[in-house]
Structure 1
């Protein structure tokens, strides 16, 4: 992989003859490293830092900023080793190019809570490399050895002499990068580990930040697409005449995904689509019905599926147990519902294409556009804007909003901004699938598990995608069973079996914030709570007994419980529940305090404790834990999509509601000091909240809620 001449000139021209430094990210490095990589680990570049003559330090990010804070966090890594003036640092999204491929996913993609830990070593290394080159440039001017010079706060000094990084940038750019560098000892960090406010906040507050929906330029038209009304329906015919009579509507063109209405502005396009007459062939078999589907999933859960884990003699263990608990849980289809509407802007000029889009997958966008247009990928320029929420929805690999924008622009022959309305998004597919779980646990005389049989049923997220060969083993999608097969609760149980069924449906499925952990944590932590109460034990003490030999889990659980006042009676009319779950290398424990108000669950307090290894920016970690709680709590209390005859019944926030401001609990976040490998932080706050709330409801009402969303009425 190499940088093309065009990409180099694009980046270099922006540096105004300053220092342009590139580096390669060949392997994921989650732990805080002790030494720099060898020269062999630094071949072709896939990320850049620029030091400009105006003293600016610009970090180009191979990942998308969608609210998770990497605009600041990744820049901190370079700034730490560059010894620069933090007030001069800014970030930009890198262009789409193979050199920016994720070191693990091997595609330019943001996801899996991996942006910081995958780049931790390399971003620091490039900062150290840039500093070395600047120091050598200063030493050459003064005709002294580099060891006689010192860098700090964007200035190189030797005695009373000093030169700023901006003054040295042009000379430094002419030097060869060092073959090795020494990184700071963690005890000498000045930025990493401190509470740093976000670089993108000022422009987002002022309205200067540009999201995909904000793109405008002369000659741009707006389009909306009429999609099939039900999953499995296909376009039979359409009549554009009524749509073309709407003032402002200019064209009506068919595309692979439906019929596009192109107009001078959004409202005209929307009204034109409303007026468009189209006929659709009905779905085969009349269409899907989620009530019927749930019954089928539950029936399948009573049979062993494709086996993911099989240790000991499970059936014999269940039969010989002192007693047995049989538990069934289910969770619904969920939409991602990011606040910024989906869409993208496309301009086709001869054999070149420009795309402006809020995407987690600029590489996939570039590849799909090239395929649609029949041009080489390097002739597609993708401009990644800020993302108004992603949660996995903007990372789809199939024919979705970004490729659809390309198809519409190609068919219409004009630059087009495609806009999906909220209804298009809620009803447009790419959901977290519906799942049913059946858990059978045999316990001994002390109430401790000795046999565990767990069956999960739900469609595969990666089935039928390029990821299937990697992520589906022996018929089991790893995302379906993550959080179960690696659960610390199951590890000491002598007889345990985990299996899965993955029925196929025409409903597009996609990773949703925390992916499989979004449902497996709910089931595991609810089941453990049921076992604790059945044994007549305190839920905290019961968990700690099962977590012997798992000190990180135990520490997080004990800290959250202590800070929440576990063991002390809550206020009258309130109950507390807890949960602890590991995902993406981070362990999060949460304690929820709830009440029931006129038949509705009200969550007042959530206390979080997190062990994520090295904490780069504690302020950002707090924000992500709070965000994860809000996202997970919204789903726990409200999230549910209903299909009848293949049609999604929900359409907007009035019937697919978000958590409101007045419902927001107080969320306290406590970060554990840890020398463990660095984990992710964007998603791990979401999985524990649903079971913590469900367990709190049981503590308060003695009613066990096994279905999401949680209902007490």
Structure 2
């Protein structure tokens, strides 16, 4: 399923590859089309799925105040600045054969075993050197070990042809974008009944999306009752909500994988924008509304949100014309992050102006690392909001190839990001991923405060 060209350097190898004329046999393949897939997901969301929560939602039939919403999230590429690559050196023959690997890996143990299997040797005969990565975001932590296996296969073929040199297999940006694993696309369907004071009377919710663990070594402990636990993380809690939640996992011919903050990339957006919409419809302050709706276990959420509110000047600082506040809070990897942002909308262009983060990760071992991770995650989340930040398929092929087609935030689009940490002496929790989920909904909520309309998909669409 692949062709490699071996040369003395990357550029001559690429010239050789570009000169090849290859015809791929697509016979019998399920050729995915993004538009058709979205419609399929929409129809699937109207059918009975596997139940995660099963609260009484009969109030929907008689409620005066209702929200009926559909959300869509596209496939996303990991798009790390350093494309995938791996260097393999093979020595010896037969049972005494050894290999040395140089690779930026998030799963070096699994990669070591995969290399050993390709070469037919014991894992103890493989030495792996884990290099600093130019970004990973989950792409370098893959159960199939695809790019490491591929590199080993290339090195093995070269070795058997008499090339006794280390072989570094490098993916181009186009390879990385078009032949990788992606954050799955998801469709959410929600029906909410609420009272005049914003009390949630019933919440009926369906999520449709591929499982990222089904068929992997992680299926045994991450799937329960046919539901991939990653797709529903962040739903309902920490709010007092009577929710019925169902899930569909359609099989699609698209390779999928976790992506920084995993399921919270979409669940946080849906939850936090819908709650904001209830607050707007009942004319309540979004911060006060959340504080009222938090359950009794949400002390850390309250503390993180209050810190972000206090440090941002929320409700006190005068904003410019056409600007508004936005708020969101979410827990992932046992860490709570709250954002209070300001944003503007002019000529159909949404712009994030300021970001203030309140972070509760318990004991702050290295505050500068926490600041860096939150800022990096916030910028990555901002990218998902920008038009063009999506992977689409037509006739089974990815349409995007490089950053001229797949959008990421530029320097001039990144706002000031202030990070504040809630003091705590409890055991530290995660920090590499929790800064991502609440940024997009906070941004969207600020835009909704301007337009009065909730943005139902990422990237933002104003058409």
Q: TM-score when scaled to structure 2?
A: 0.95
- 8 Å CA contact 1:429–1:507 kept in 2: the answer is no
Among 228, 235, 246, the residue aligned to 1:499: 246
Is the aligned partner of 1:567 residue 2:315? yes
> 1:264 Cα deviation (Å)?
1.3
What residue in structure 2 maps to residue 591 of structure 1? 340
> 1:479 Cα deviation (Å)?
0.4
When the two structures are aligned, how many residues end up with a matched partner? 451
CA distance in 2, matches of 1:428, 1:692: 32
CA distance in 1, matches of 2:137, 2:396: 25
* Structure 1 residues 368 and 684, CA gap change in structure 2 (3 angstroms): same
- 8 Å CA contact 2:185–2:209 kept in 1: the answer is yes
What residue in structure 2 maps to residue 478 of structure 1? 229
What residue in structure 2 maps to residue 425 of structure 1? 176
> 1:284 Cα deviation (Å)?
3.4
- 8 Å CA contact 2:365–2:428 kept in 1: the answer is no
- 8 Å CA contact 1:452–1:497 kept in 2: the answer is yes
Among 369, 383, 390, the residue aligned to 1:620: 369
Is the aligned partner of 1:331 residue 2:79? no
Tell me the secondary structure at the aligned position of residue 284 of structure 2. Answer: coil
Is the aligned partner of 1:347 residue 2:109? no
What residue in structure 2 maps to residue 681 of structure 1? 431
CA distance in 1, matches of 2:47, 2:287: 32
- 8 Å CA contact 1:585–1:678 kept in 2: the answer is no
CA distance in 1, matches of 2:66, 2:322: 32
Is the aligned partner of 1:462 residue 2:213? yes
What residue in structure 1 maps to residue 190 of structure 2? 439
> 1:285 Cα deviation (Å)?
6.1
> 1:291 Cα deviation (Å)?
1.0
- 8 Å CA contact 1:283–1:646 kept in 2: the answer is no
Is the aligned partner of 1:287 residue 2:31? yes
> 1:303 Cα deviation (Å)?
2.2
- 8 Å CA contact 1:328–1:436 kept in 2: the answer is yes
CA distance in 1, matches of 2:54, 2:426: 29
Bigger shift: 623-632 or 298-307? 298-307
- 8 Å CA contact 1:580–1:587 kept in 2: the answer is yes
Is the aligned partner of 1:310 residue 2:54? yes
What residue in structure 2 maps to residue 262 of structure 1? 6
- 8 Å CA contact 2:390–2:407 kept in 1: the answer is no
CA distance in 2, matches of 1:355, 1:344: 7
> 1:429 Cα deviation (Å)?
2.4
Among 440, 444, 448, the residue aligned to 1:698: 448
What residue in structure 2 maps to residue 709 of structure 1? 459
CA distance in 2, matches of 1:665, 1:467: 38
CA distance in 1, matches of 2:60, 2:424: 39
CA distance in 2, matches of 1:380, 1:603: 48
User: C-alpha deviations, 1:653-701, integer Å up to 9, x for none?
Assistant: 1111221111110001110112444210000000001100110101112
Tell me the secondary structure at the aligned position of residue 40 of structure 2. Answer: helix
CA distance in 2, matches of 1:285, 1:652: 25
- 8 Å CA contact 2:339–2:355 kept in 1: the answer is yes
Bigger shift: 410-419 or 276-285? 276-285
User: C-alpha deviations, 1:394-431, integer Å up to 9, x for none?
Assistant: 11111511110000011121331100011000101210
* Structure 1 residues 396 and 285, CA gap change in structure 2 (3 angstroms): closer
Tell me the secondary structure at the aligned position of residue 444 of structure 2. Answer: helix
User: C-alpha deviations, 1:111-169, integer Å up to 9, x for none?
Assistant: xxxxxxxxxxxxxxxxxxxxxxxxxxxxxxxxxxxxxxxxxxxxxxxxxxxxxxxxxxx
Paired residues for 1:533-552 under 5 Å: 533-549=280-296, 550-552=298-300
- 8 Å CA contact 1:359–1:387 kept in 2: the answer is yes
- 8 Å CA contact 2:386–2:408 kept in 1: the answer is no
CA distance in 2, matches of 1:683, 1:356: 26
- 8 Å CA contact 2:381–2:436 kept in 1: the answer is yes
* Structure 1 residues 362 and 286, CA gap change in structure 2 (3 angstroms): closer
- 8 Å CA contact 2:69–2:190 kept in 1: the answer is yes
Paired residues for 1:176-325 under 5 Å: 257-282=1-26, 284=28, 287-311=31-55, 313-314=56-57, 316-325=58-67
What residue in structure 2 maps to residue 403 of structure 1? 149
- 8 Å CA contact 2:386–2:407 kept in 1: the answer is no
List alignment gaps of at least 5 residues for structure 2. Answer: none
What residue in structure 2 maps to residue 371 of structure 1? 117
CA distance in 2, matches of 1:285, 1:382: 36
CA distance in 2, matches of 1:633, 1:538: 24
Is the aligned partner of 1:654 residue 2:404? yes
Tell me the secondary structure at the aligned position of residue 336 of structure 1. Answer: coil
- 8 Å CA contact 2:238–2:295 kept in 1: the answer is no
Q: Which has the higher contact order (CA 8 A, sep 6+)?
A: 2
CA distance in 2, matches of 1:419, 1:657: 23
> 1:546 Cα deviation (Å)?
0.2
* Structure 1 residues 330 and 283, CA gap change in structure 2 (3 angstroms): farther
Q: Which structure has the larger Rg over C-alpha atoms?
A: 1
CA distance in 2, matches of 1:404, 1:285: 22
User: C-alpha deviations, 1:503-548, integer Å up to 9, x for none?
Assistant: 0112111110000011110111011011111112111111111015
> 1:564 Cα deviation (Å)?
1.8
* Structure 1 residues 516 and 446, CA gap change in structure 2 (3 angstroms): same
User: C-alpha deviations, 1:621-640, integer Å up to 9, x for none?
Assistant: 11111111011111122420
- 8 Å CA contact 1:438–1:455 kept in 2: the answer is yes
> 1:299 Cα deviation (Å)?
1.4
Tell me the secondary structure at the aligned position of residue 348 of structure 1. Answer: strand
Is the aligned partner of 1:608 residue 2:357? yes
Tell me the secondary structure at the aligned position of residue 279 of structure 1. Answer: coil
CA distance in 1, matches of 2:349, 2:196: 37
